[in-house]
Structure 1
Amino acid sequence: MMQVAPGPSCSQVCKASSKQDLPRATAASTSARAPRTSFLNAYQRRGEHLSILVAQAVRSDQQVDQLSNSALELISQITRKADEEHAATLERNRAALEGLVEQDAPVELKRKVLATVSALKEGLIERETEVRLLLLAALAGEHLLLLGPPGTAKSELSRRMARLTGGTYFERLLTRFSVPEELFGPLSMKGLENDEYVRQIDGYLPTCEVAFIDEIFKANSAILNALLTLLNERLFDNGNQRLRVPLLCMVGASNELPESEELDALFDRFLIRRQVAQVSSAQLGSLARLAAGTLRPADEASTSSSNGAAEFNGAATSLADSSSARFTELTLDEFRDTARAAYTAVDLPDAVVDILTSLRNYLQDKCEPPVYVSDRRFMKSVNLLQVAAYADGRDQVIEYDCLLLEHVFGQRPDDAQKVKQFVLDTIASDPGLQQTELVFLGLFGRACRVLENRNQEDMEETKREAAQVVELLDLRQGGLTQTLDGGFPELRNSVWQSEISVQSAVQALTPQMTENKKRVEELLREALILQAALESETEAGLLERLLPKRYKQYQKGISSRA
């Protein structure tokens, strides 16, 4: 501690009254006050410095406040701009839906298909799906298998198809004792005289366009080999000649599934399979009036859209016995040429390919028991979907067409529900939306880096990518708006879906697709905010305030990589 010398006393000062003593006393007093004055001056200087620091701190706080206000103003501008564009986009998509006119008149082929469906189901009760599947099989050059008890109008469907196409019709009931001559014709006596093993095939299966074989799985090995080649390759070996047969479509019927492995190949030849049951209890009254000839047209129309699982069951009157029956304009050549035209004119989008591949993997790897889908069946299912789209007047297969696979990818009757549920779940989950979210998260991370590095070339490229994502989400939101608010028009306009099947699909799809629409709209708003931030070339730190959830995901990704 500083020691301060004592100052002069009053007597000392008085004694130094002379001019000589006074200067000394004054000097002594001055030297005594010097240390205290230095301390006070230092303290005063420190106070002045502290005041300067306080003033500087105040000015610094004011600058910080001004920076925060400007940042908040920029955030407000970006958010306001994004919200305005977001609202305008939603309104534009709603206005586009309201401005949609009624669907144009069907293309020529679709009009003919609709007329053929109407003619085929006339006088039938609960057989709408079977009618559509038979017509689709004929157009695709494939075969239809109907599983169910006798007396459920299975043979009547094939007879009607033969009359509508104008083709030659062949029908047989197989037993375990059936011989090849019953299907392929008797041996030629003249041929045997000339040492030739040939058959007289006129009027038999090798010369017909439409065939119905009841109890198809009663075929023995003598019949089986020739039948397999005829169904798949449309070839028949008659003696030493291999002939091309004109078969358009075969309808096979059976009360039960094949039990022996040697019949698996025959089972696989029928691309479309349908379980048929009796008329439902709700429609027995209509069946009685149909048998009595008193079924009115209004009653008949109501039977085609009956409720419940029995929607497609039925019985029939003969088409020839119906006074209102009429033949359609579809010709035999159109049946033959449609499949070839569809294979070259109809595209298969990646979304449909993903459904097909994931469905097969699910059935074979995750189902219990596994459902085997051969490569041949898988490839033919693609062609079937192309034909369905082409006859519907479209140039590409859509996801809703995959609902037809419930009649294709199944070995047992209960497999159909597994296939249908998987397709509905896949469509509703919208894998494309999940991929878009991942793309946006990657774009957000790139935007953070670009705004930090300030590389102008990267900045422009990121802006273009943001615009592409916004456009993609805009289209997706418009599509979901049209689907949900428009009542699933693509599904309802298909000639291959009945009203009951459409209602069932809509009921299953609506909840998840509504949630998807909300996710798309939220993601679109985020994309618009990011796009506005990039256009303003704001500071990277502001993205944390603009999109905090995405920023946390971005930081988490950086931490995990580190």
Structure 2
Amino acid sequence: MSKWKLAAVKSSQTLETADTDLIQLISDISKDVDSRHAGLLRDAKGATPDIEGLDSSLRGKAQTAILSLQSGLLERETEVRLLLLAALCGEHLLLLGPPGTAKSELSRRLAELTGGRYFERLLTRFSVPEELFGPLSMKGLENDLYERQTSGYLPTAEVAFIDEVFKANSAILNALLTILNERLFSNGSARLEVPLLCLVGASNELPESEELDALYDRFLLRRQVAQVSSAQLGNLARLAAGSLRATTQTSADGAEAGGGRLELADFHGTASTAYSAVEVPDSVIDLLTTTRDYLQDKCEPPIYVSDRRFMKAIKMLQVAAHVDGRSAVHEYDCLLLEFVLGSRPDDSQKVRAFVLETIASDPGLQQLELVFLGLFGRACRALEGGNEQDVAEAQQEASQLVELLDLRQGSVGLTLDGGFADLGATIWQSEGSVREAVQVLTPPMTENRKKAEDLLREALLLQTALQRQVAASALERILPKRYKQYQKGVSGRV
């Protein structure tokens, strides 16, 4: 046999041996990773939801208050929650809808719950300031003082209900704005502090004139109230006849006995405590800013969100989390934004849909995939260059990424397997609202779970390859899809 043929045979045998060794290496790495991957998924599926806040005394009182407020009312679960949240935040609630939908009844129940003084008035276009702020003092006029007798009127009330609030004329408007925003009332030369916790405004229609825009903006929470649905008309008739009264009252009394009652001090102190005690994570900040940008820049027509309303929305979420017994705001709390950020009744569905879509898209998982792509490129260069320090740094980053992805897939799996326990545990979402949200979130989050599990396996493969310091050619065989992405990125930069 000639020398060149002998050399070719030896070369071929060497390549076959090298290829066999490479195949065996890849097989060993795959078996090791599959075992570790299966173990991590098994551990995640064995976890149980740990819902924070179920033993909170304030939460128990709030649950009792919700049942008490909605006792004997049908399809007012959301309105009751918003009313209580507004009062705990020291904010105001606007109820839009036709007469006879229990708007004033809810306000009176809130006053009874707090034990505070109550004021109620129906405005017309001919209403005068005396109807809201009290008559002029005759003794004051005798002494050349322009003062009002405010006792029993709005400046002395803790809870107030103003029907047809947008019929306020200019003579009433300025004083009303100051009371709502600054909690101050100018009585003659004195500026008096107003004890108002919450004012509930009601109207059949939205304000039409620009001078009422400032008043409209003072209502942080807004809710469109509809008549009782056709499906519940039978129960409404039974309620009117008295046959449902005992059942609803019994449930409220039972909850009250177990949860205790909210005191006036709870309403005065909850908000300030929440602002200092509750953290707003970066994920929630990102969701808030993304939602505002979407509403103002991409909605048609655009929905303006003032800086003041944006900041108050964040504080409201802190109060909601604190009363729930949590130390941090959750992304699910942002579903409450549908009652805060919209300008018109139909805007609420736009806000809710966008928040759900953003939560379902899982921006955190998308960010982790970008981190993995960047790390893969650095690992390829480190292995190709043979720099031990670069390989060691890539190994450390890969280990950190594996931990993050394990937490992510575990979190998504826990949410799905636990039936969205975090969402269902909050007292601020009605059962119907939770069901609707779960129906929207389940399909995309199921896909996210699969993506997180697959990405975790890829990260484990990369971590193991770096630990064994395989050749770049082996990395190409282990993760071919990612290697093609890496090559495209390199050629694009060249």
Match of 1:146, as an amino acid?
L
CA contact (8 A) 1:184 1:199 kept: yes
3-state secondary structure, aligned to 2:289: helix
> Which residue number corresponds to residue 213 of structure 2?
264
Q: CA distance change for structure 1 residues 102 and 187 in 2, over 3 Å: closer, same or farther?
A: closer
Equivalences for residues 93-242 of structure 1 within 5 A: 93-97=44-48, 105-242=54-191
CA distance in structure 2 between the aligned counterparts of 1:53 and 1:485, rounded to whole angstroms: 65
CA distance in structure 2 between the aligned counterparts of 1:249 and 1:486, rounded to whole angstroms: 37
Q: CA distance change for structure 1 residues 195 and 323 in 2, over 3 Å: closer, same or farther?
A: farther
Equivalences for residues 31-50 of structure 1 within 5 A: none
Which of 13, 16, 19 is residue 65 of structure 1 equivalent to?
16
Aligned identity (percent) is 66
Displacement of 1:148 after TM fit?
0.5
Which of 300, 307, 315 is residue 368 of structure 1 equivalent to?
300
3-state secondary structure, aligned to 1:183: helix
Q: CA distance change for structure 1 residues 90 and 159 in 2, over 3 Å: closer, same or farther?
A: same
| Deviates most, 495-504 or 193-202 | 193-202
3-state secondary structure, aligned to 1:237: strand
CA contact (8 A) 2:292 2:305 kept: yes
Which of 29, 38, 44 is residue 78 of structure 1 equivalent to?
29
Note the residue ranges of structure 1 that are not aligned, 5 or more in a row.
1-49, 303-318
CA contact (8 A) 1:125 1:300 kept: no
Q: CA distance change for structure 1 residues 418 and 323 in 2, over 3 Å: closer, same or farther?
A: closer
Give a deviation string over 1:274-298, Cα, whole Å, max 9, x none. 0001111111111111111122655
Displacement of 1:381 after TM fit?
0.4
Note the residue ranges of structure 2 that are not aligned, 5 or more in a row.
none
CA contact (8 A) 1:210 1:250 kept: yes
3-state secondary structure, aligned to 2:46: helix
3-state secondary structure, aligned to 1:253: strand
CA contact (8 A) 1:164 1:328 kept: no
CA contact (8 A) 1:122 1:325 kept: no
- Whether 1:380 aligns to 2:331 is no
CA distance in structure 1 between the aligned counterparts of 2:454 and 2:83, rounded to whole angstroms: 45
Give a deviation string over 1:344-393, Cα, whole Å, max 9, x none. 11111111111111111111122122211111111100000010011111
Higher RCO (CA-CA < 8 Å; seq separation 6+):
2
Match of 1:124, as an amino acid?
L
Q: CA distance change for structure 1 residues 102 and 432 in 2, over 3 Å: closer, same or farther?
A: closer
- Whether 1:442 aligns to 2:374 is yes
CA distance in structure 1 between the aligned counterparts of 2:362 and 2:44, rounded to whole angstroms: 20
Equivalences for residues 410-421 of structure 1 within 5 A: 410-421=342-353
3-state secondary structure, aligned to 2:47: helix
- Whether 1:523 aligns to 2:455 is yes
Displacement of 1:459 after TM fit?
1.7
> Which residue number corresponds to residue 480 of structure 2?
548
CA contact (8 A) 1:459 1:534 kept: yes
Equivalences for residues 455-534 of structure 1 within 5 A: 455-534=387-466
- Whether 1:346 aligns to 2:295 is no
Give a deviation string over 1:484-517, Cα, whole Å, max 9, x none. 1110000000000111100000000011000111
CA distance in structure 2 between the aligned counterparts of 1:324 and 1:102, rounded to whole angstroms: 20
CA distance in structure 2 between the aligned counterparts of 1:371 and 1:148, rounded to whole angstroms: 21
CA distance in structure 1 between the aligned counterparts of 2:270 and 2:310, rounded to whole angstroms: 20
Give a deviation string over 1:309-336, Cα, whole Å, max 9, x none. xxxxxxxxxx9xx999989521101111
Which of 323, 330, 333 is residue 265 of structure 2 equivalent to?
333
CA contact (8 A) 1:286 1:299 kept: no
| Deviates most, 455-464 or 403-412 | 455-464
Q: CA distance change for structure 1 residues 104 and 458 in 2, over 3 Å: closer, same or farther?
A: same
Displacement of 1:56 after TM fit?
2.0
- Whether 1:392 aligns to 2:324 is yes
Q: CA distance change for structure 1 residues 300 and 218 in 2, over 3 Å: closer, same or farther?
A: same
Q: CA distance change for structure 1 residues 392 and 123 in 2, over 3 Å: closer, same or farther?
A: same
Displacement of 1:147 after TM fit?
0.4
> Which residue number corresponds to residue 8 of structure 1?
none
3-state secondary structure, aligned to 1:541: helix
CA distance in structure 2 between the aligned counterparts of 1:191 and 1:150, rounded to whole angstroms: 40
Match of 1:130, as an amino acid?
E
Displacement of 1:525 after TM fit?
0.4
| Deviates most, 455-464 or 211-220 | 455-464
Between structure 1 and structure 2, the one with the greater Rg is 1
3-state secondary structure, aligned to 1:96: coil
Give a deviation string over 1:202-239, Cα, whole Å, max 9, x none. 11111110000000000000100011011011111111
Displacement of 1:81 after TM fit?
1.0
> Which residue number corresponds to residue 91 of structure 1?
42
Displacement of 1:247 after TM fit?
0.4
Match of 2:109, as an amino acid?
R
Displacement of 1:430 after TM fit?
0.8
Q: CA distance change for structure 1 residues 153 and 323 in 2, over 3 Å: closer, same or farther?
A: farther
CA contact (8 A) 1:82 1:528 kept: yes
| Deviates most, 119-128 or 448-457 | 448-457
The TM-score, its normalising length taken from structure 2, stands at 0.97
Give a deviation string over 1:528-559, Cα, whole Å, max 9, x none. 00000000011112111000010010010011
Q: What root-mean-square deviation, in Å, do the aligned CA atoms of Structure 1 and Structure 2 show?
A: 1.9
CA contact (8 A) 1:170 1:212 kept: yes
